[in-house]
A = this chain, B = another copy of it.
Amino acid sequence: MSWVYFNHEFVKEEQAQLSYRDLSVQRGYGIFDFFRVHQAQPVFLEDHLARFFYSAEQMHLPVPKTAKEIRHLILELIRSNRIENSGIRITLTGGLSPDGYQPGTPFLIIAEQPFTPLSQEVLNKGIHLISYPFQRQLPHVKTIDYITPIWLQPYLRQQGGDDLLYHQHDRISECPRSNFFLIDQENRLLTPSGNILKGITRKHVLKLAAQHFTIAEKTITLSDLRNAREAFTTSTTKWLLPVVQIDGQTIGTGKPGETTMKLRKMLEEEIIGIQNAKVKM
């Protein structure tokens, strides 16, 4: 049973319990962020902390600790739990509301869970996306709202898909927990520009790719998928994940793309390189 930083103290996981009157339970009001821990070092922590504070500010939720204090608490948590591979989730809830509607004093939770990396099998096979007309509310904020994609799980299974691809009026935005990229016939790397959560992995992939490819953040429609040579998603948990089918239509050769796998390798080397440098420090 691991330790959890919970409302100003470290407690054992089973003690990390909050009132049913918290605004997250009553009104789904809260934000979070999630990052990987590799060799006891948080991956891209500064990016995640910056986004966490941005989300909190956007939702009018004051964070009870500074970024420096949170960084410190995270390292303390990692030292206490000693989990080989993990993911850490920082959550900020709406708190105990005076009237069940106005936010109260936000509740800060930092929790670490063992993390199972993506299997080689899934990576070799790639995934099948099912498009769905939906636009997340407050897309630029990492809120806790995942009602629609969880509600759609039976539909997704019925369609034989692995994940959803949101679009509105045919304009693609993102997947529920990842960003979407495609590589077109001119070998350009394209990704939707608007109405999305700006992923941290997305940012680093764009930076790495810019050294080798023409990249563009632009409007992408469902019909642009017909001309895609490759497609992939990016996320903190999966890094780059090849997409080989969308709505039953094969993308490129129907196998994970060469460029996708090259970019994945580059990202992996960057992450491991940064981590090794930190460990040696």
Contacts and interface: CB of A to CB of B under 8 A. Distances in A.
Nearest to A60: B154
A210 interface: no
Nearest to A19: B17
Contact of A146 (B20, B28, B109): B28
Given A17-B17, A20-B18, A102 B153 contact: yes
Contacts of A148: 137-138
Interface residues of A, number: 45
Interface in A117-149: 134, 137-138, 143-148
Contacts of A32: 26
A42 interface: no
B150 A101 contact: yes
A29 B134 CA distance: 17
Nearest to A107: B20
Contacts of A25: 18, 22, 24-25, 30, 91, 93, 144
Given A4-B20, A16-B20, A20-B4, A144 B91 contact: no
Nearest to A16: B20
Interface string A1-41: 00010100000001011111111111111101000000000
Give the residue among A23, A28, A103, A154 with the most B Cβ atoms within 10 A: A28
A59 interface: yes
A16 B19 contact: yes
A192 interface: no
Interface in A147-168: 147-148, 150-151, 153-154
Given A27-B146, A146-B29, A151 B59 contact: yes
Interface in A66-96: 91, 93-94
Contacts of A19: 14, 16-17
A49 interface: no
24 contacts: A4-B20, A16-B19, A16-B20, A17-B18, A18-B20, A20-B91, A21-B111, A24-B24, A24-B25, A24-B28, A25-B93, A26-B32, A27-B144, A27-B147, A27-B150, A28-B30, A28-B144, A28-B145, A29-B147, A59-B151, A60-B153, A103-B150, A134-B137, A145-B147
Interface of A: 4, 6, 14, 16-30, 32, 58-60, 91, 93-94, 100-103, 109, 111, 113, 134, 137-138, 143-148, 150-151, 153-154
